[in-house]
Amino acid sequence: MTILITGGAGFIGANFVLEWVKATGEPVVNLDALTYAGNRASLQSLEGSNLHHFVHGEIGDAALVGELLATHKVRAVINFAAESHVDRSIKGPTRFFETNVMGTLGLLEAVRAYWGGLGGAVKDAFRFLHVSTDEVYGTLAPDEPAFSETTPYRPNSPYAASKASSDHIVRSYHETYGLPVLLTNCSNNYGPLQFPEKLIPLVIHNALAGKDLPIYGDGLQVRDWLYVGDHCTAIRQVLETAAPGASYNIGGDNQMTNLAVVRHICALLDARRPKADGSRYADQMKHVTDRPGHDRRYAIDARKIAHDLGWQPSVRFEDGIRQTVDWYLANAGWVENVTSGAYRDWVARQYT
Ligand code: NAD
Ligand code: DAU
């Protein structure tokens, strides 16, 4: 049997592929367009492995996807591929709708045609799992209850709106065509292999480079941080055991303000890589203009996945963030490799 992963050269996808191959020994076809966020270097340890077949291409290319599904007799598809950075969606929304909405539609059309041609037990066992986000639910006031699977969608950024649209399309393919879909909505991930445009790797990268650590607005926005390995485990459990049509929220039960996260990273760096002049990394923190439409608070109610599938986060933030900081300190080459000219152009446009 084989599974098709899309976006497996990105942050969560690459962590998932590495973990999947190690844990299951089942072959993976990895379809990725290698945008700025996709890096073959993340999958270097699988070079030459007959369990990992990398294909450079777009999820919206239904002909390519159809060929891959048939050639490799795929039993399940997990769709990680997306444009994923909120700030980029604010600067230029079009690509988000092309990939996250039309791309997902093209992928689903290819999957529907392939699945329609299967028979018997193979057809019954087939699954399409769409990886989505808690941002589709919008923002919470400090005292509001956490997002559950029945919270109405109220996306605020172009990124969130594009993901919400894709979730609705996926759901409609189950209701209309009976396609055995699964949907997961997860909170903020952190861990190794995350592109240094997102808060945690950006802060580590800038701190070590002696640059400002940009805090949007007052820095009191709240996110629910989950270690990427726990997200990957949850996805595997949903794929293996959830009923077709089900959706699950996934979170770390770990709400923190951005200020608290950044200060925590600074303290870890002070201990691990003290600055020569004796100053503190936190001195580099700088409040900058807030993100337009900035969601104030996310929080996930993950009781459904705990109850139905027995999944719970296993990595405490203190441990996960220490491992993450250590990974970035030990993998300066990976960071150097991904922070190319295009990355520097983005940083210049976003932060000056
Ligand atoms: P990422 O930006 O790091 O990686 C996205 C990957 O998709 C890259 O490898 C990129 O090359 C690929 N890709 C982009 N457009 C493509 C296309 N048209 N065809 C094929 N491949 C394409 O993203 P990530 O942080 O790993 O997120 C993965 C998924 O998880 C996304 O769907 C995102 O919405 C969702 N998600 C992310 C988080 C988070 O905290 N990062 C949390 C919840 C959900
Ligand atoms: O909640 C899940 C989502 O988490 C995913 O769907 C997205 O793909 C992922 O990018 C992430 O979105 P956020 O916008 O929450 O993540 P980001 O790392 O961009 O920002 C985290 C918080 O930190 C947010 O409140 C904005 C703030 N921030 C971010 C950056 C990059 C800063 O204060 N300064 C910064 O430079």
Distance 325 CA to ligand 1 centre (A): 22
Distance 14 CA to ligand 1 centre (A): 10
| Catalytic hit among 58, 83, 135, 230 | 135
pLDDT, residue 349, reads 85
What mean pLDDT comes out for the span 178-201? 98
Chain-centre distance for alpha carbon 27: 21
Please indicate whether residue 318 is annotated as part of the active site.
no
pLDDT, residue 344, reads 77
């932060």: which residue's tokens?
351
pLDDT, residue 57, reads 97
What are the chain's domains? 2-191+226-251+295-314 (3.40.50.720)
Ligand nearest to the CA of 162: 1
pLDDT, residue 347, reads 78
**Token digits for 73?**
């007799």
Distance 28 CA to ligand 1 centre (A): 17
Q: Above 90 in pLDDT, residue 126? A: yes
DSSP letter for 191, please. S
pLDDT, residue 271, reads 98
Q: Are 60 and 103 in contact (CB under 8 A)?
A: yes
Residue nearest to atom 23 of ligand 2 (CA): 199
Probe ligand 1: pick from 29, 43, 80, 96, max atoms within 8 Å of CB?
A: 80
Q: Are 242 and 308 in contact (CB under 8 A)?
A: yes
Q: Are 170 and 108 in contact (CB under 8 A)?
A: yes
pLDDT, residue 1, reads 87
pLDDT, one tens digit per residue, over 212-243 is: 999 999 999 999 999 999 999 999 999 999 99
Locate the ligand 2 atom nearest the alpha carbon of residue 298 and give its number: 1
Confidence of residue 351 (pLDDT cuts 50, 70, 90): confident
* Bridge partners of residue 285, in order along the sequence: 213
What mean pLDDT comes out for the span 314-329? 98
Distance 85 CA to ligand 1 centre (A): 9
Top pLDDT among 350 and 91 is at 91
């003290």: which residue's tokens?
274
| Catalytic hit among 58, 83, 134, 295 | 134
HSE (side-chain half, CA atoms, 13 Å) at 328: 27
pLDDT, residue 350, reads 87
Q: Above 80 in pLDDT, residue 45? A: yes
Confidence of residue 342 (pLDDT cuts 50, 70, 90): confident
Q: Are 49 and 97 in contact (CB under 8 A)?
A: no
Coil, helix or strand for 238?
A: helix
pLDDT, one tens digit per residue, over 130-160 is: 999 999 999 999 999 999 999 999 999 999 9
pLDDT, residue 310, reads 98
Locate the ligand 1 atom nearest the alpha carbon of residue 58 and give its number: 19
What mean pLDDT comes out for the span 288-307? 98
Please indicate whether residue 135 is annotated as part of the active site.
yes
pLDDT, residue 188, reads 98
Nearest alpha-carbon partner for 139 in 302, 296, 301: 296
Locate the ligand 2 atom nearest the alpha carbon of residue 295 and give its number: 25
pLDDT, residue 345, reads 80
* Bridge partners of residue 74, in order along the sequence: 2
Give percent of the chain above pLDDT 70: 100
Nearest alpha-carbon partner for 10 in 133, 193, 239: 193
Q: Hey, how many other C-beta atoms are within 10 angstroms of the C-beta on 125?
A: 12
Q: Above 80 in pLDDT, residue 352? A: no
pLDDT, residue 343, reads 75
**Cα angle, residue 134 at apex, residues 129 and 140 outer, rounded to 5°:** 160
